[in-house]
Structure 1
């Protein structure tokens, strides 16, 4: 790693200390290092000394020559990220399927459509971690106002911490596929779904691959009010269903009500984001 001509970290989040060591050593020997910062909000937590130290580290790193840190939230969406990174870029999952198109398993897609029985489909995709709002979705299904006009699919591994909520949702009619979802199955879910869940807890206020893929597939994302991805949706003029975790009844009404129309061709921001991402990565290396 120290001697590589070009080095880009797909994510520095899992080993900040390792990235710091490698980036500084490479700088001292005249080599460039780039990295994507997936969870920059962790530098701004109001709780604990750890966030303060992390902020100071990334504040210093952002000023070093030959070290380029990119948040996957554009600075247009969150200007304060300018303090800890050199550039904010759009999450590649907002435009990657323009290069690698969806390739669904039509057999799996038909199976899901048969299960839905003509109802609109809401898909929760990926590991059902608490911070992804899975309990809030399950709580909505447990509400007396929930009428099962929406078919809920939970596709992904189920941690023990939420297994009780998942079982309760399953009893109310949700279909749960508690395992790793293959690529063609994943594409099939985006193919048949009407609504994609991206309503996350405040501690997980960051870019969302599920949101980006929903946009590319022309589906309606569910987002929590006041989040970065709601701001992104407004910037690219893409319709979403917003929910307030303190007023789940209103969220139920929106999920069971009329859906907004989705957009047509990719917004110019998305097209520009793809070009800027490639350019920025080349310049960083």
Structure 2
């Protein structure tokens, strides 16, 4: 007789079935850590006997509210993760006020847990509509539960960047480049500051996708910046971090949220350049991370102030601690502890 199939411990609901961005990695990690299976069927999620985790509440707040209400009536657990809680807290638009009100109401239901991926210490107001928090998985997934890409040799792209830098230090911007990711600030800072270019090389890998910042590309390249304005492979992405002395995480005012680029950088012990006053700066201060804050004024940036990297052993230890803490919390909210 064949072995009886083991039922998944958790059903993860996401109404978007694709794996673009980091979705595929995110759900594969959850499957390993909490024994989950994924569905894009709201019907299946509504009637699942197992605890249900809405993997991305922002994709459909209405679906999440329905899940919480119907499943609470049946005495079944439902949790959800908010990736961008700040607009819900500060937004004045009617749709944001309605979502905030509804999330505050379902928070009171038995068996419901809405979680942010930012600690309440950074913004206590998140507690108005969320039950708790975990660290963004991209703040710890390179080291918990196991080390990933730890012994990978430096690739050709990293060697190319380092050769162009000569004896200069390197700032990298990773992935899609647009106004939200601060490409205008990144490129203009390098192009405008000859004194900075003597000590630093700025390099990026990823498509420039925003027509508003596309005009910044040519002056950046003319000033000697390293540009790979195209889709980059996973290995090339890793090479950007391998070549870096600091990582650009200085994002637009309306893109104030946790960041996978930021998370990967701090897991590797790399200093980060963040926007002054942002949630990422608050994270750096609260957690004692290596960083410099930039206000967007070209003349104000001090390259000398960029700190040295954190000991990779200490960075890995912190990531493992955050991972263990986050998974323990998540299992508790789902009733698996």
Normalised by the length of structure 2, the TM-score is: 0.77
Aligned CA RMSD, in angstroms, stands at 2.1
Contact 2:58–2:82 at 8 Å: present in 1 too?
Answer: yes
Once the two structures are superposed, the pairs formed by residues 16-165 of structure 1 within 5 Å of their partners are 16-98=61-143, 99-102=146-149, 103=152, 106-149=155-198, 150-161=200-211, 162-165=213-216
Q: Which residue of 1 aligns with 2:310?
A: 263
Show CA shifts across 1:77-121 (max 9, x none): 211111111112221222111134234652332222223333211
Using CA pairs under 8 Å that are at least 6 residues apart, name the structure with larger relative contact order, 1 or 2: 1
Q: Report deviation, 1:139.
A: 2.0
Contact 1:2–1:26 at 8 Å: present in 2 too?
Answer: yes
Structure showing greater radius of gyration is: 2
Q: Which residue of 1 aligns with 2:30?
A: none
Q: Report deviation, 1:124.
A: 0.7
Instruction: Provide the rounded CA distance (Å) in 2 between the counterparts of 1:269 and 1:43.
Output: 29
Aligned residues: 281
Instruction: Provide the rounded CA distance (Å) in 2 between the counterparts of 1:271 and 1:77.
Output: 21
Show CA shifts across 1:35-85 (max 9, x none): 210000111235422221121122112222222111010012211111111
* Cα distance, 1:124–1:104 mapped onto 2, change above 3 Å: farther
Instruction: Provide the rounded CA distance (Å) in 2 between the counterparts of 1:281 and 1:258.
Output: 38
Q: Report deviation, 1:278.
A: 0.7
Instruction: Provide the rounded CA distance (Å) in 2 between the counterparts of 1:144 and 1:222.
Output: 16
Structure 1 regions of 5+ residues with no counterpart? none
Contact 2:171–2:247 at 8 Å: present in 1 too?
Answer: yes
Instruction: Provide the rounded CA distance (Å) in 1 between the counterparts of 2:79 and 2:92.
Output: 29
Q: Which shows bigger deviation, 133-142 or 264-273?
A: 264-273
Q: Report deviation, 1:243.
A: 0.6
Instruction: Provide the rounded CA distance (Å) in 2 between the counterparts of 1:182 and 1:105.
Output: 14
User: Is 1:210 paired with 2:210?
Assistant: no
Instruction: Provide the rounded CA distance (Å) in 2 between the counterparts of 1:146 and 1:137.
Output: 15
Structure 2 regions of 5+ residues with no counterpart? 1-44
Contact 2:154–2:242 at 8 Å: present in 1 too?
Answer: no
